[in-house]
Amino acid sequence: MVQAKKTEKAERSDGRKLNEMRKMEAKVGIIKRADGSAMFKIGTTVALAAVYGPRELFPGFMQNPEKGILRCNYDMLSFSVTERKRPGPSRRSVEISLVTKNALGSAINLDQFPNTVVDVFIMIVQADAGTRCAGITAASMALADAGIPMRDLVSAVSVGRINGKIVIDLDKEEEDYDGTTDIPCAFMSRNNEITLLQLDGDISAEELKQAVELGKEGCKQISEIQKKALKERYKEIKNE
């Protein structure tokens, strides 16, 4: 028994198995002023998301008379990382906001809300890798909480390759390890549609396919956690 545990430990620095995600926690309805909100925690990475809207979009020339538009804003608190992050947008946060918008946009339908905007704000409170994925997962719950019509929940996790092994949910230590390939991905689990896929590193096509499959399985589990958190929220509303 002890022996078995040892070999498992050798696989990853924090003792997880290759296909094991960190401990997760989800809570919906954490910000009362918002139309929808959620928190998602994976390991020690914590993301908050709030949704406002559909609300009228200003300036008027940005309005779309055919459907509502989605705006996403991802940022990190200055003290969420080891070295202080300068407040305000960076190139990194602009790009992540864009890929987040694309990842969530595939799932929602704003045809009924012409000339409006749905604003999604994501804040990383504590960062230990996988922040964009945690943000997307939280935001997807917040959109559902706000009552936005959706085809499915979007769940996101990072997969990657460390020391030749395909793993899920890299932590900071693994992410920074030399030669790591990091692949953030997001899925709509109902039809296995990929809505976020990024990669940096060096990996063969075969390994990429394996990694994405692993991500798909992980996202299925995350999706269950999201659903459970949303159901909890409705129990709360019933009791209020």
Partner 1 sequence: MNNLDLREYITSILANGHRIDGRKLEEYRNPIEIKTGISKNAEGSASARIGETEVIAGIKIGVGTPFADSPDEGVLMVGVELLPLSSPEFESGPPGEQATELARVVDRGIRESKMIDMKKLCIRKGELVWMIFLDIYTINDDGNLIDACALAALAALKESVLPVLKDDKVVFGEFTKTKLPLTRIPVTCTLYKIDSYFLVDPSTKEEKVCDARISICMTENDNICAVQKGGSKGIKIEELDKAINIAKEKTKELRSILNNSSVK
User: Smallest distance, Å, CB 207 to partner 1?
Assistant: 9
What character string, x for contact with partner 1 (CB under 8 A) and - otherwise, covers 37-56? --------------------
The residues in 73-92 that bind partner 1, with binding defined as CB under 8 A, are 91-92
What character string, x for contact with partner 1 (CB under 8 A) and - otherwise, covers 168-187? ---------------x----
Binding partner 1 (rule: CB under 8 A), the pick from 196, 214, 222, 230 is 196
Buried b (16+ CB within 10 A) or exposed e, 148-162: bebebbbbbbbbbbb
CA distance 57 to 116: 5
208 touches partner 1 (CB under 8 A): yes
Candidate ranges 8-16, 54-62, 117-125, 194-202; the one touching partner 1 (CB under 8 A): 194-202
CA distance 58 to 62: 7
Nearer of residues 29 and 218 to partner 1, judged by Cβ:
218
Chain centroid to CA 69? 20
Candidate ranges 126-134, 140-148, 193-201, 232-240; the one touching partner 1 (CB under 8 A): 193-201
Candidate ranges 18-26, 35-43, 198-206, 230-238; the one touching partner 1 (CB under 8 A): 198-206
18 touches partner 1 (CB under 8 A): no
User: Smallest distance, Å, CB 62 to partner 1?
Assistant: 13
Nearer of residues 152 and 171 to partner 1, judged by Cβ:
152
Query: CB of 21 within 8 A of CB of 169?
Result: yes
List phi, psi (to 5°) of 214: -60, -40
191 touches partner 1 (CB under 8 A): yes
CA distance 239 to 136: 29
CA distance 221 to 68: 31
Binding partner 1 (rule: CB under 8 A), the pick from 17, 23, 98, 163 is 98
Which own/partner pairs from 175-184 qualify as long-range (CB within 8 Å, at least 24 positions apart)?
175/129, 181/207, 181/211, 182/158, 183/158, 183/159, 183/208, 183/211, 183/212, 183/215, 184/130, 184/132, 184/133, 184/156, 184/157, 184/158
User: Smallest distance, Å, CB 191 to partner 1?
Assistant: 8
213 touches partner 1 (CB under 8 A): yes
User: Smallest distance, Å, CB 155 to partner 1?
Assistant: 12
Chain centroid to CA 115? 27
Q: How many CB atoms lie within 10 A of CB 99?
A: 19
> Where on the chain is the footprint of partner 1 (CB under 8 A)?
91-92, 94-95, 97-99, 101-102, 105-106, 183, 188, 191-205, 208-209, 212-213, 216
